[in-house]
Amino acid sequence: MSAKKAIPYKIYLEESELPKTWYNVRADMKNKPAPLLNPGTLQPMTAEDLAPVFCEELIRQELDNDTREYPIPQAIQDFYKMYRPSPLVRAYCLEEKLQTPAKIYYKFEGNNTSGSHKLNSAIAQAYYAKQQGLKGVTTETGAGQWGTALSMACSYFDLDCKVYMVKVSYEQKPFRREVMRTYGASVVPSPSDTTQVGRRILEQFPGTTGSLGCAISEAVEVAVSNPGYRYVLGSVLNQVLLHQSVIGVEAKTAMDKYGIKPDMIIGCAGGGSNLGGLIAPFMGEKLRGEADYQFIAVEPASCPSLTRGKFAYDFCDTGMVCPMAKMYTLGSGFIPAPNHAGGLRYHGMSSILSQLYHDGYMEARAVEQTKVFEAAEQFARVEGILPAPESSHAIRVAIDEALKCKETGEAKTILFGLTGTGYFDMVAYEKYHDGLMSDYIPTDADLEKGFAGIPKIDL
Amino acid sequence: MSAKKAIPYKIYLEESELPKTWYNVRADMKNKPAPLLNPGTLQPMTAEDLAPVFCEELIRQELDNDTREYPIPQAIQDFYKMYRPSPLVRAYCLEEKLQTPAKIYYKFEGNNTSGSHKLNSAIAQAYYAKQQGLKGVTTETGAGQWGTALSMACSYFDLDCKVYMVKVSYEQKPFRREVMRTYGASVVPSPSDTTQVGRRILEQFPGTTGSLGCAISEAVEVAVSNPGYRYVLGSVLNQVLLHQSVIGVEAKTAMDKYGIKPDMIIGCAGGGSNLGGLIAPFMGEKLRGEADYQFIAVEPASCPSLTRGKFAYDFCDTGMVCPMAKMYTLGSGFIPAPNHAGGLRYHGMSSILSQLYHDGYMEARAVEQTKVFEAAEQFARVEGILPAPESSHAIRVAIDEALKCKETGEAKTILFGLTGTGYFDMVAYEKYHDGLMSDYIPTDADLEKGFAGIPKIDL
């Protein structure tokens, strides 16, 4: 045990060891992710096309497949110092509980008030908006993690922040809403009468409780129709994965410091921001042929975009107002069953991760939610951290792999991303404790309905 | 700025620098805290008297005014490694916002799932219960921080954990309850029909929503009437302050490492567990005449035990089933106004802190809750952490003192305790945002009613 404990429970980097650059994995990809398309012309979106919606520097980052290292501006580095480095934790207690020879590590991104990794990109996007002299930004949020992160970032830079929150979440998750208000954001339940698209939807569906697609449409409308505003997004986009590479760069620096090489890296995947960030520098080594790692994306069985989706150009939002992206998708009309509690509900997947998966650099697994909550509770009891349902998808597969090691006797080194905490997800935990949680796997017929909405594009 | 930044934003100790011993401040007190009294005989409680209620080793710690250093058992040190060291943070952003020459530091205890410092003592108490071969422990909880911490600790040591939760909190704070259930605790709304005292109270007051005093009585009854069970408590007691000294020892080690000497140390005070722990080693130096520090206890104006209470022997619980303690007290029948949201509702104060305050080693301030939430929001917006209302009492005074420095030009070094996070307190934040929060200061006549319940004891 004492030799084993040569690795501390938690590895914190010194402030001087924190990343100075983000790593752009696209620079090392032979097959680049396909460009965003203008849905009208089917031509790749240019910087000019995107300028009314997004911030200039963020557009540059979005379109740049070549620059390998992006310097992190000093103001963002300073903000990172308030809540980073995030700890790289050796899960000694979990290993002991499982009686596995595997060595399990997790990178824990939940120790900030937004409760997740989302803050890493929120602060970057707010910074570039401020640099551009904007008054504020708009966005949408579902459960509220991204909205909270953006509110914190905007508060720091004195930017106005308008969040369109899916109405059902606004009403059922008042606490997240209050956190956003604490940071000075204005939070509007969507659909609302503050936008044309919102009023139209309210007329058509008077009792609707909203959807992410509708909230995106409202946020985009407000951004493009108010001078000094732009729209920002918390996942899926290339720029977001670039910012989130801070997770992976930190993790790799910490592991290198102790001579640890992971055999497999596991992360949950909704839009892909966490997984893409965590694996970035490791994937870079694999792409350059310098090292090999097994990468596993974990998604809910009820929203299986990688494991059962199609690799195709599709709309990014239900309202079809955004550019089209080539990705693994279930169709922009696909909505997971209402009994699905664990986040990761997005119908598509980051173009970068989709391409890497398509090219065989990454695997994917789909897991059922009761098994996810079982892993969450097991983890909480021995490691002390109450994990977010999203993060618990990765825990599930990490435990499964550690148990396989127990059978084979292999002492594999496993790294997984623990993206956040579950403090605002206790309704789901309650369902699980009360035996009211069920699993749902869409039938092929269910999926076909979603696929039918994917546009037929022959490029 | 660059010279200033020689001190990092966050100071983390290495695992090897973590405390190996708790510090018992009583060893350095000339006037020891008065002993607990048997309410029947008015004689000091002996270890035998206490044995049916408390664990053996904890009784030894409770009664030991002499041993200066207590070795922290290895199993507890190992658990501490999962969530400690807690960071000592330099509040650069707050300093800049306030434009103060003061240097502000805070010791942040909120980065664990219990959301506060309570876990430091919970794990120790659970450990000693396990060592004694007990089956489980009982306790009460109000808002749920202590109950959560104890649930986590019991889960780690496979102990049964029965929590009596004040009924109004059980119903209004279902999320804390679910966190406890996640850790396998059984949570019972109090008063309940599972105890004699509970049934009696339910008969007398059929619609009652419970009180901490009643929950204590139920928890104690269950402990003494079930073989293999003992009762544990999260604050007030000497043993708890001993365990919480880990906060101060870590803080002092981190400050010494960088040659920082605080001029003043500020903490919120309810029962005194956090403040007593934070100041312990610094107070030791002051008591031994080796250094001088200004200590400030901050309490709510609506429950002002130090600033307006009496220093007298009183009952520790409303039900009067526990031993009597000499302390600053408002009377065991005192209940803060219902509009008071910010915790720290206990009618008394740790005997150790009461004695130190009485002897002039410590100051106390009472602050009103709207000013507390104003400070909480200001802090959250620049430092990124959403503070618990309790912790925000300390923030309020730290900001006040930093603003005084701005006027006088003094560059004082301020250390305060940030005990926890406010994720489960959003109802109170919502009230504040909506302008529905009011202040309440009890009149002298209000206080006299409470004082009338303090027993007249002539020793």
Mapped to the 3 state alphabet, what secondary structure does chain A carry?
CCCHHHCCCEECCCHHHCCCEEECHHHHCCCCCCCCECCCCCCECCHHHHCCCCCHHHHHHHHCCCCCEEECCHHHHHHHHHHCCCCEEECHHHHHHHCCCCEEEEEECCCCCCCECCHHHHHHHHHHHHHCCCCEEEEEECCCHHHHHHHHHHHHCCCEEEEEEEHHHHHHCHHHHHHHHHCCCEEEEECCCCCHHHHHHHHHCCCCCCCHHHHHHHHHHHHHHCCCEEECCCCCCHHHHHHHHHHHHHHHHHHHHCCCCCCEEEEECCCCHHHHHHHHHHHHHHHCCCCCCEEEEEEECCCCHHHHCEEEEEECCCCCCCCEEEEEECCCCCCCCCCCCCCCCCCCCCHHHHHHHHCCCCEEEEECHHHHHHHHHHHHHHHCCCECHHHHHHHHHHHHHHHHHHHHCCCCEEEEEECEECCCCHHHHHHHHCCCCCCCCCCHHHHHHHHCCCCCCCC
The tokens for B247 are 């906060």
Please state, in angstroms and rounded to a whole number, the distance separating the CA atoms of residues A35 and A148: 29
pLDDT of B71 strictly over 50: yes
Residues of chain A with pLDDT under 50: 1-4
Interchain proximity A113–B82, CB inside 8 Å: no
How would residue B339 be classed by pLDDT, with cut points 50, 70 and 90?
A: confident
pLDDT for the residue numbered A458: 67
Topology of domain B22-70+118-231, CATH: Rossmann fold (3.40.50)
**Whole-angstrom distance, CA of residue A374 vs CA of residue A372:** 5
- Please report, for chain B, the start and end positions of each structural domain, with discontinuous segments joined by +: 22-70+118-231, 85-115+246-451
Q: Position of tokens 């409760």?
A: A115
Instruction: Name the residue of chain B whose CA is nearest to A158's CA.
Output: B381
The whole-number pLDDT of residue A169 equals: 84
Q: Which of B177, B391, B423 to mutate to test the interface with A (most CBs of A within 10 A)?
A: B423
Q: How confident is the model at residue B225 (pLDDT cuts 50, 70, 90)?
A: very high
C-alpha–C-alpha distance, residues B398 and B389, integer Å: 14
Q: For chain A, say whether B157 makes contact (Cβ under 8 Å).
A: no
Nearest by CB to B111, from A8, A111, A174: name it: A111
| Chain B hits for A79, Cβ within 8 Å | 384
Which H or E run contains B444? helix B444-452
| CATH pick for B85-115+246-451 out of 3.40.50.1100, 3.40.50.10470, 3.40.50.150, 1.10.1370.30 | 3.40.50.1100
Question: B238-288, pLDDT tens digit by residue?
Answer: 999 999 999 999 999 999 999 999 999 999 999 999 999 999 999 999 999
Burial class (CB in 10 A: 0-12, 13-18, 19+), A2: exposed
Chain B residues close to A115, C-beta within 8 Å: 423
Check pLDDT > 90 for residue B336.
no
C-alpha to C-alpha distance for A288 and A294, rounded to whole angstroms: 15
Distances (CA, A) of B43 to A271, B53, B64, B99, B242: 67, 17, 17, 55, 24
A8 and chain B in contact, CB less than 8 A: yes
Give the model's confidence band at B1: pLDDT under 50 very low, under 70 low, under 90 confident, else very high. Answer: very low
Distance CA B414, CA B286 (A): 17
Token representation of residue B9: 């934003």
Phi-psi region of A106 (alpha: psi -120 to 50; beta: other; left: phi over 0): beta
- Is residue B117 within 8 Å of B210, Cβ to Cβ? no
Main-chain dihedrals φ then ψ at residue A264, nearest 5 degrees: -140, 150
Is residue B211's pLDDT more than 90? no
Using CA atoms, how far apart are residues B77 and B61, in angstroms rounded to an integer?
A: 18
pLDDT at A171: 85
Q: How many CA atoms lie within 13 A of A429 on its CB side?
A: 28
B156–A386 C-beta distance less than 8 A: no
Q: Which residues of A touch B377 (CB under 8 A)?
A: 182
Distance CA A200, CA A142 (A): 20
Interface-testing mutation among A84, A96, A111, A176, with chain B (most B C-beta atoms within 10 A): A111
Inter-CA distances, A351 with A114, A251, A344, B305, B406, Å: 25, 23, 16, 61, 52
Question: What is residue B4's predicted lDDT score, i.e. its pLDDT?
Answer: 47
Binary contact (B386, A82; C-beta < 8 A): no
Q: What residues contact B199, with CB distance under 8 A and at least 6 apart?
A: B191, B193
Chain A residues near residue B14 by CB distance under 8 angstroms: 8
Decide if B15 and A10 are in contact by the 8 Å CB cutoff: yes
pLDDT score of B3 = 42
What is the tally of helices (H) and strands (E) in chain B? 18, 15
Tokens 């970068």 locate to: A352
For residue B373, give Cα distances in angstroms to A182, B98, B377, B419. Answer: 10, 17, 6, 15
How would residue B458 be classed by pLDDT, with cut points 50, 70 and 90? low
Q: What is the pLDDT of residue A2?
A: 39
Kindly indicate the confidence band of residue B289, based on its pLDDT and cuts at 50, 70 and 90.
Answer: very high
Contact A426 B384 (CB under 8 A): no
Q: Which one of B10, B81, B182 has the shortest CB-CB distance to A380? A: B182
Which tops the pLDDT comparison, A319 or B209? Answer: B209
C-beta separation of A305 from A325 below 8 A: no
Q: How confident is the model at residue B459 (pLDDT cuts 50, 70, 90)?
A: low
Chain A / chain B CB contacts < 8 angstroms:
115
The ipTM, to two decimals, is 0.90
Residue B261 carries which DSSP code? Answer: -
Average pLDDT over residues B35-43: 91
Distance CA A269, CA A266 (A): 10
Q: How far apart are CA A251 and CA B288, in angstroms?
A: 45
- Tell if the CB–CB gap between B430 and A113 is shorter than 8 Å: no
B183 touches A at CB < 8 Å: yes
Q: Answer yes or no: is pLDDT of B2 > 90.
A: no
Q: How far apart are CA A109 and CA A83, in angstroms?
A: 9
Q: Is B113 on the interface with A (CB under 8 A)?
A: yes
| CB A385 within 8 Å of CB B113 | yes
Contact criterion met (CB < 8 Å) for B174 and A426: yes
Shortest Cα–Cα distance, B39 to chain A (Å): 39
Q: Which of residues 328-347 of B touch A (CB under 8 A)?
A: none
**Least Cα separation, residue A346 to chain B (angstroms):** 26
pTM of the predicted model, to two decimals? 0.94
> How far from the centroid of its chain's Cα atoms is residue B407's Cα?
32
Closest-CA residue to B140 (of B238, B218, B26, B79): B218
Phi-psi region of A286 (alpha: psi -120 to 50; beta: other; left: phi over 0): alpha
CA atoms within 13 A on the CB side of B307: 19
Query: Minimal Cα–Cα distance from A331 to chain B, Å?
Result: 35
Query: Can you spell out the DSSP letters for B267-325?
Result: EE-SSSHHHHHHHHHHHHHHHTTS---EEEEEEETTS-HHHH-EEEEEESSTT--SPEE
Which residue's structure tokens are 């043993």?
Answer: B239
Mean pLDDT for B172-201 is: 92
What does the mean pLDDT of chain B come to? Answer: 94
Cβ–Cβ gap A183/B8 under 8 Å: no
Match 């990765």 to its residue by tokens: A394
Sheet holding B264-268, edge to edge: B10-11, B88-90, B103-108, B413-418, B264-268, B294-300, B363-367
Query: Reduced to 3 states, what is the DSSP secondary structure of residue B333?
Result: coil
**Cβ of residue B172 closer than 8 Å to a chain A Cβ:** no
Section B371-382 average pLDDT: 96
Does B197 have pLDDT greater than 80? Answer: yes
| 3-class secondary-structure state, position B44 | strand
Q: How far is B46 from chain A (nearest CA, A)?
A: 36
Q: How far apart are CA A79 and CA B297, in angstroms?
A: 31
**A17: closest chain B residue by CA:** B8
Provide the pLDDT for residue B352.
98
Please give the pLDDT value at position A214: 83
- CA nearest A425: which of A393, A399, A400? A393
Helices of type H across B331-368: 351-358
pLDDT of residue B153: 97
> Chain A residues with CB inside 8 Å of B429's CB?
178-179, 181-182
Residue A203 identity: E
Mean pLDDT, residues B388-392: 95
pLDDT of residue B203: 92
Q: Do domains A22-70+118-231 and A85-115+246-451 have the same CATH topology?
A: yes
φ, ψ at B325 (rounded to 5°): -125, 145
- Closest to B267 measured CA to CA, from B114, B390, B423: B390
In terms of DSSP H, where are the helices of B157-270? Answer: 167-172, 174-182, 196-204, 212-225, 238-257
Q: Mark which residues 42-101 of A lie under 8 Å from B by CB.
A: 79, 81-83, 89, 93
